[in-house]
Structure 1
Amino acid sequence: MTMTSIHAHTVLNLLLAAETPYSEQSLQQAITAEYGEDVRFHTCSLQDLTLEALLIFFLERGKVIREGDAIVANPAMMCSH
């Protein structure tokens, strides 16, 4: 079985486009529905990240922030490539 690797910007764009902020659980459900259970993510410098690892990466760099139970993208900290 081939594992799907999606660029991390896909998740940031999903968060930006959300009419209602995602919780970590609802984000996981949306990603799984779209890409399957075994999806992994990559950034410009990292490979083979789970969604949980990707969110930690984003939180540490300020690319996403927690607002209560919600996870929202921080456009000011996103690169534009």
Structure 2
Amino acid sequence: MSDSVHGHDVMALMVAQATPVLKVELLSKMSHAFGENARYHTCSADNLTAEGLILFLMGKGKLTETTEGISLAGMRCNHSSYELRGVTQDHAIR
């Protein structure tokens, strides 16, 4: 069994947050939820650090960063459907 955490799980943390969060706070939440040494993957990338995943998701337009912090920008996907806290949303991190 892989110890890698899918980016969707991090995005779920952002949905639960509902307001922008500072990068240091998001990194802390990720460490608390998934472990200090967790590695992350997406549908098209693997072996990412927590910071690497955040940068990747920002580059894909899934997370945005403003002076208020980081927030979830979207979960649109063309390849599958993902259920997130009882709400089915299209997702993609390609």
Q: TM-score band, normalised by the shorter chain?
A: 0.7 to 0.9
Task: Give structure 1 regions of 4+ aligned residues with deviation exceeding 6 angstroms.
Answer: none
Q: CA deviation at 1:74?
A: 0.6
Answer 1 or 2: which has greater helix percent.
Answer: 1
Q: Which residue is 1:13 aligned to?
A: 12
Normalised TM-score (structure 2): 0.73
The question of whether the paired residues in 2 share the 8 Å contact of 1:4 and 1:35 is answered with no
The RMSD of aligned alpha carbons is 2.0
> Which residue in the other structure is 1:43 paired with?
42
- Alignment identity in percent? 34
1:19 Cα offset (Å): 3.7
For residue 16 of structure 1, what is the amino acid of its counterpart?
V
Structure 1: which 5+ runs fail to align?
none
Unaligned residue ranges in structure 2 (runs of 5+):
78-89
Count of residues paired in the alignment: 79
Change (3 A) 1:19 1:59: closer
> How does the TM-score come out when normalised to structure 1?
0.83
